[in-house]
Chains A and B, each alone.
Chain A
Amino acid sequence: MNISRQLDTLLQDFPNCETVAFADISTGLVLCSSTRKTMSRGQLDALCAAAIELLNGKQASLASATLDPNGNAKVQEALLMEDGLLNIFVRSSVVSTEALCCICVPEIEIDSFIDRACSELANFDTD
Chain B
Amino acid sequence: MNDINRLKSKLEKLGAEEFGAKSDGHVFKVSNLDEVMTVMLREIDETLLGRELEFRNDRGDMIGLEVSGRRLLCVSKVLPERLATSFKSLLKVATFDAHGPEIDDMARLLDAFSEEATKLKVTSHGLSRAMGSSEVGCSPDSLAQAWSLDAVETTEENEESAVASFLASCRDIASAWIQLKEGSVTRKSGDEALIERLVSLASDGFSIPDIGLKQGGNSAEAKRCIVLRSPSLEQHSVLFAENENRAALVLFPAENLSQVISKWHSAVA
**A interface residues, Cβ below 8 angstroms from B:** 46-47, 49-50, 53-54, 57-60, 62-64, 66-70, 72-83, 86-87, 106, 109-111
How many B residues, CB 8 Å from partner? 37
- Report A-chain residues with C-beta under 8 Å of the C-beta of B257: 79, 110-111
A interface footprint on B216-245 (CB within 8 Å = 1, 0 otherwise): 000000111111111111101010100000
Cβ-neighbour of B233 out of A64, A81, A111 (below 8 A): A64
- Report B-chain residues with C-beta under 8 Å of the C-beta of A74: 230, 232
Q: How far is the CB of B202 from chain A (nearest CB, A)?
A: 10
Q: How far is the CB of A48 from chain B (nearest CB, A)?
A: 10
Cβ-neighbour of B232 out of A50, A73, A77, A110 (below 8 A): A73
The complex places the Cα of A50 from the Cα of B224 at a distance, in Å, of 14
Cβ-neighbour of B201 out of A62, A75, A79, A80 (below 8 A): A62
Q: Given that A67-B236, A70-B232, A111-B257 are known contacts, is A50 also in contact with B211, CB under 8 Å in the complex? A: yes
- Report A-chain residues with C-beta under 8 Å of the C-beta of B226: 54, 59, 78-81
The complex places the Cα of A53 from the Cα of B212 at a distance, in Å, of 11
Binding-face segment, B94-102, B127-135, B258-266: B258-266
- Report B-chain residues with C-beta under 8 Å of the C-beta of A75: 228-230
Are A82 and B209 in contact, CB atoms less than 8 angstroms apart? no
Q: How far is the CB of A30 from chain B (nearest CB, A)?
A: 14
Q: How far is the CB of B241 from chain A (nearest CB, A)?
A: 8
Q: Given that A66-B201, A68-B230, A81-B224 are known contacts, is A59 also in contact with B206, CB under 8 Å in the complex? A: yes
- For the complex, would chain B's binding face be called helix, strand, loop or mixed by DSSP majority? mixed
- Report B-chain residues with C-beta under 8 Å of the C-beta of A60: 228
The complex places the Cα of A6 from the Cα of B246 at a distance, in Å, of 41
CB-nearest residue of chain B to A47: B213
The complex places the Cα of A109 from the Cα of B262 at a distance, in Å, of 10
The complex places the Cα of A110 from the Cα of B255 at a distance, in Å, of 11
Are A46 and B212 in contact, CB atoms less than 8 angstroms apart? yes
Are A78 and B228 in contact, CB atoms less than 8 angstroms apart? yes
Q: How far is the CB of A61 from chain B (nearest CB, A)?
A: 10
- Report B-chain residues with C-beta under 8 Å of the C-beta of A77: 227-230
Are B214 and A82 in contact, CB atoms less than 8 angstroms apart? yes
Taking A79-B261, A111-B257 as known contacts, 4 extra A-B pairs with beta carbons closer than 8 A to each other, sorted by chain A number, are: A54-B228, A67-B238, A77-B230, A87-B213
